[in-house]
Amino acid sequence: MKNMNIMFAGFGGQGILFAGKLVAYAGMLDGREISWLPSYGPEMRGGTANCSVCLSDEPIGSPLVIDPDVLLAKNLPSYEKFIDHVVPGGTVIVDSTMVGTCTMRRDVDYYTIPATALAEENGLKGLANVIVVGKLLGATGFTTREVLEQAIDKSVSEKKRDLAAANKRALELGELWTASEC
């Protein structure tokens, strides 16, 4: 599989770190080398949050993602902060509900998905982050849905075990979403 350096970015409380954890866990289940490096401000909810995830078939030298192959942006400030760092030929996935209109680069592949609105409309409030991970799966094929579902089973705490099925529905919704304009 292709090596990937992924930047998940948004506000605290949007599930950015959990989304990164799912992808990292899927990489681990696939037998790949992985790193997961969270970064967030002291205010947590409402402040900035991002997460670097590296998936590789070789040992990873640094967990810090400076020039991501993939950017998943859940708000406009994060999109603006990281878009110029995505490598040419990379992939950008945007939650269009939260980002709104954005300037598109011509040298990257864009996928927009109204993840926050889709979560609300489908009774999956709070799972826009997993919808975006589903779009990542559909756009890149970095793993299989079965492996991501196993990652959900491993990552959802016992206290929230009842949300595993909803997470899997959110994953499928994102994977099958047809991209719209940014």
Identify the structural domains of the chain with CATH numbers, from first to last.
4-176 (3.40.920.10)
Residues 124-143 as b or e (16 or more Cβ within 10 Å = b): beebbbbbbbbbbbbbbebb
Instruction: For residue 70, give the 3-state DSSP assignment.
Output: strand
pLDDT range class, residue 43, cuts 50, 70, 90:
low
Is the per-residue pLDDT at 109 higher than 90?
yes
pLDDT of the residue at 150? 96
Which of 122 and 179 is assigned the larger pLDDT? Answer: 122
DSSP state of 180: B
Q: How far apart are CA 168 and CA 182, in angstroms?
A: 26
For residue 161, the model assigns a pLDDT of 83
For residue 141, the model assigns a pLDDT of 95
Q: What is the mean pLDDT of residues 22-27?
A: 97
User: pLDDT at position 44, please?
Assistant: 55
pLDDT given at position 46 = 63
Is the predicted pLDDT of residue 103 greater than 90, yes or no?
no
| Confidence bin at 100 (pLDDT 50/70/90) | confident
Rounded CA-CA distance 181/147 in Å is: 29
How confident is residue 70, by pLDDT bands cut at 50, 70 and 90?
very high
Looking up tokens 């999956």 gives 124
Q: Is the pLDDT of residue 181 over 60?
A: no
Q: What pLDDT does 179 receive?
A: 62
- Judged by DSSP in three states, 125 sits in coil
Using 50, 70 and 90 to split pLDDT, how confident is the model at 29? very high
